[in-house]
């Protein structure tokens, strides 16, 4: 397949080294252009947890090394297969799948050396942390990464989007070959199947995702719902971003610091979403407007007590409320959980949900890994069929060249005086038969001479089936 991957991730390298090997911003565009000089296309995936180079080893530079690695017997067999295209013609035929392990290893070393030079690091310092995969092993790795099976958080979906962004960068730099583009399409389609046909990404495994999942379980018609964000810290920003992304129609932000609240409001505003900023002291008044409350203030005192909540419920005519308290110490009075129509979840409650979900994902990962193995086999078979199609096309073009040469010679003879057209046509027929049967005949004799019954049976039965078809 000629696909290789060289990289580091959170399992093989410490964060300090991952930071030094990261390829981001303009570095990616420069790197892609440099790698293009010695690959048949590449994609660079660089995130906080991994830096990986996916590349195709070029075919043209490996034809000679490939033959040099063959034994005399193996080289003779290759030459027999090529014979039909090499006899009495300048046209040659060589299989697009003929590439040596040594040639691939040489290019892996070249990519490693380039990476060390590009990042101005000694190769000896980074090589122990680099992993390398090739051919179907590289394809398996890429599919596992795209499906979230190799992520720090098992099954997380963001990595697929990050890979797609990396592919877009490679497309913008025009460094994707048709063959690598085809492989990428297969990886994306297979990753989608893994996520759709298994439960590896079905359960929330982060506080923000778990909070958003609760919202979808309790409420429908989200565009008519209002989210109240109490405190605009980083955790609440993540929760608000995920819940707002579900399509809630209105967000209210209560925060002591108006500048931070306005900054979060700017992030959350959208064409179909209204975002209001209110001072924290107005919390008792705005609570009744909220269907969903997320609070994470860091305050030492309760911000929402039972009396405040009962009053809000009365004003809401007892429409249900979801309250998510991510603060430690807690922002919301725990006794509120006893009130009908209020669903209160603390950070511990969400952690219990997440722990159970992680275990479910681990169990689902077994099915996902099995599906990945099956999909890799399917993709590899399609790839081989695709490649042999090109070989067939090249072989037919080579044969057509020989036929055209013989036909041209026969036509020239027919224009001479005192020649017998029947004799010329008979000679043309004989020469065509010899030309078209020379390579398989030689291969059958060689297989019989060397006792290779399996190859002999394959060639003979294949030729017999071909003649039966006609």
- Chain mean position to CA 13: 21
Plot region of 98 (φ>0 → left; ψ -120 to 50 → alpha; else → beta): beta
Q: Is 76 helix (H, G, I), strand (E, B) or coil?
A: helix
Cα torsion through 313, 236, 158, 346, rounded to 10: -60
254 is catalytic: no
- Are the C-beta atoms of residues 118 and 34 closer than 8 Å to each other? yes
Alpha helices by DSSP H, 119-206: 123-126, 135-146, 158-172, 178-197
Residue 454 main-chain phi, psi, to 5 deg: -65, -45
Distance CA 40, CA 179 (A): 8
Distance CA 338, CA 350 (A): 18
353: nearest Cα among 159, 225, 239, 208: 208
DSSP 8-class letter at 57: P
Residue 225 main-chain phi, psi, to 5 deg: -100, 155
44: nearest Cα among 149, 182, 156, 175: 175
Tokens of 203: 């359960």
- HSE-CB of 409 using CA atoms within 13 angstroms: 12
- Chain mean position to CA 204: 21
For 374, residues 6+ apart whose C-beta sits below 8 A from its C-beta are: none
Distance CA 418, CA 460 (A): 43
Give catalytic residue positions: 48
């Amino acid at each position: 397949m000629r696909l290789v991957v060289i990289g580091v991730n959170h399992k093989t390298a410490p964060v300090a080294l991952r930071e030094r090997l990261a390829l981001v911003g303009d570095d990616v565009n420069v790197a892609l252009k440099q790698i293009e000089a010695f690959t048949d296309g590449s994609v660079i995936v660089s995130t906080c947890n991994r830096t990986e180079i996916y590349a195709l080893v070029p075919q043209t530079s490996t034809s000679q090394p490939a033959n040099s690695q063959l034994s005399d017997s193996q080289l003779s067999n290759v030459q027999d297969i090529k014979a039909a295209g090499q006899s009495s013609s300048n046209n040659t035929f060589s299989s697009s799948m003929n590439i040596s392990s040594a040639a691939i290893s040489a290019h892996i070393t070249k990519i490693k050396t380039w990476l060390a030079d590009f990042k101005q690091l000694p190769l000896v310092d980074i090589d122990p942390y680099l992993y390398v995969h090739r051919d179907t092993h590289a394809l398996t790795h890429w599919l596992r990464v795209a499906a979230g099976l190799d992520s720090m958080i098992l099954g997380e979906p963001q990595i697929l989007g990050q890979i797609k962004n990396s592919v877009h960068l490679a497309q913008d730099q025009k460094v994707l070959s048709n063959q690598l583009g085809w492989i990428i399409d297969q990886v994306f389609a297979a990753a989608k199947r893994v996520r759709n046909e298994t439960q590896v990404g079905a359960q929330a495994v982060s506080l923000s995702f778990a909070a958003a999942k609760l919202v979808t379980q309790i409420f429908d018609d989200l565009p008519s719902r209002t989210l109240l964000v109490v405190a605009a810290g980083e955790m609440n920003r993540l929760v608000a971003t995920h819940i707002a992304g579900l399509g809630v129609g209105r967000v209210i932000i209560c925060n002591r610091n108006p500048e931070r609240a306005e900054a979060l409001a700017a992030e959350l505003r959208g064409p179909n979403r209204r975002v209001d900023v209110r001072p924290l002291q107005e919390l008792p008044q705005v609570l009744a407007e909220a269907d969903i409350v997320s609070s994470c203030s860091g305050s030492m005192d309760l911000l929402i007590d039972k009396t405040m909540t009962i009053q809000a419920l009365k004003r809401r005519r007892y429409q249900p409320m979801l309250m998510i308290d991510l603060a430690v110490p807690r922002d919301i009075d725990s006794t509120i959980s006893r009130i009908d129509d209020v669903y209160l979840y603390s950070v511990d409650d969400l952690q219990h949900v997440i722990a159970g979900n992680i275990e479910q994902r681990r169990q689902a990962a077994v099915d996902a890994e099995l599906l990945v193995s099956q999909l890799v086999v399917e993709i590899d078979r399609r790839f081989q069929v695709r490649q042999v199609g090109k070989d067939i096309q090249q072989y037919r073009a080579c044969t057509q060249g020989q036929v055209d040469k013989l036909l041209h010679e026969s036509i020239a003879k027919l224009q001479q005086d005192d020649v017998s057209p029947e004799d010329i046509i008979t000679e043309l027929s004989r020469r065509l038969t010899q030309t078209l049967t020379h390579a398989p005949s030689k291969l059958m004799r060689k297989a019989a001479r060397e006792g290779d019954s399996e190859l002999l049976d394959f060639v003979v039965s294949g030729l017999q089936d071909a003649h039966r078809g006609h």
